[in-house]
Amino acid sequence: MVLVAVFIFLTAFNCGDAALRPAPSPKVLVFSKTAAFRHGSIAAGIKAIQKLGADNSFDVDTTTESKKFTPSILKQYAAVIFLSTSGDVLNNDQQQAFENYIRSSGGFVGVHSATDTEYDWPWYGNLVGAYFKNHPFFQQEAILNIVDANHPATKGLPAQWRRKDEWYNFKWIAQGLKVLIKIDEASYKDGQNGADHPMAWYHEYDGGRAFYTALGHTNESYAEPLFLQHLLGGIKYAIGKKQ
């Protein structure tokens, strides 16, 4: 009876101790491999996301290596961030691993040229939500109109957000996206998607969560408080954290 009592006491003590331990922080993987154009702002973007993680209780790993796209590695992450990727960056096995990750409630964040990536992988096109066509020859200031101000990625942004960046035109846009921001083509030169020209969106896709922003070409973006607020909200949505 004494041994039974000691066992029950130790079991209760260990359970109580486990309950006191803080839950592990969610972790994201920043993937920045490029097989075409490589943005100079990637380094600034990595540093900014690392700081966002340190300030907001999520851990950040970074890689340019496609070999990280295996089931055992991907399952560690609450979200995967394609930071200005370009071109064909994953082979067939890696693509399948990433599809299965999303289907298992994984999160995805695409930044800027994530839409200039994997043109021959339709599943990815539907995940990221669009494919890049071109952009004006020079960076310009333009007006962004907030369509949905209740999402974490847009909450607190000015209803008309004037900023300078490289503004993407898209040759294909998926159906069913929940658009957060549109750009006013009358406010700058060489827009090609007309009055319904999205710049940021989110949606649930194939069992997971996806957020994309076309913003973030410039180094200055990653020191801009409003852009960082926007990006952080998108990351939190992809992670699935309650706001």
Task: Determine the Cα–Cα distance for residues 146 and 137; give it in Å rounded to an integer.
Answer: 25
Bridge partner list, 34: 86
Collect the ranges in the chain with pLDDT lower than 50.
Answer: 1-19, 242-243
Task: Determine the Cα–Cα distance for residues 190 and 140; give it in Å rounded to an integer.
Answer: 10
Pairing of strands 59-63, 27-31: parallel
Long-range contacts of 155-160 (CB under 8 A, 24+ apart): 155/233, 155/243, 156/229, 157/226, 157/229, 157/230, 158/226
Q: How many CA atoms lie within 13 A of 17 on its CB side?
A: 6
* Per-residue confidence (pLDDT) for residue 1, from 0 to 100: 47
Task: Take residue 41 and report the two structure tokens written for it.
Answer: 């702002």
Q: For the chain, which residues make up each domain, given as ranges? A: 25-132+169-177+200-239
Task: Determine the Cα–Cα distance for residues 170 and 29; give it in Å rounded to an integer.
Answer: 26
**What is the DSSP annotation of 208-243?**
EEEEEES---SGGGGG-HHHHHHHHHHHHHHHT---
* Per-residue confidence (pLDDT) for residue 23, from 0 to 100: 72
Class (C level, CATH) for 25-132+169-177+200-239: alpha beta
Segment holding 94, helix H or strand E = helix 92-103
* Per-residue confidence (pLDDT) for residue 24, from 0 to 100: 85
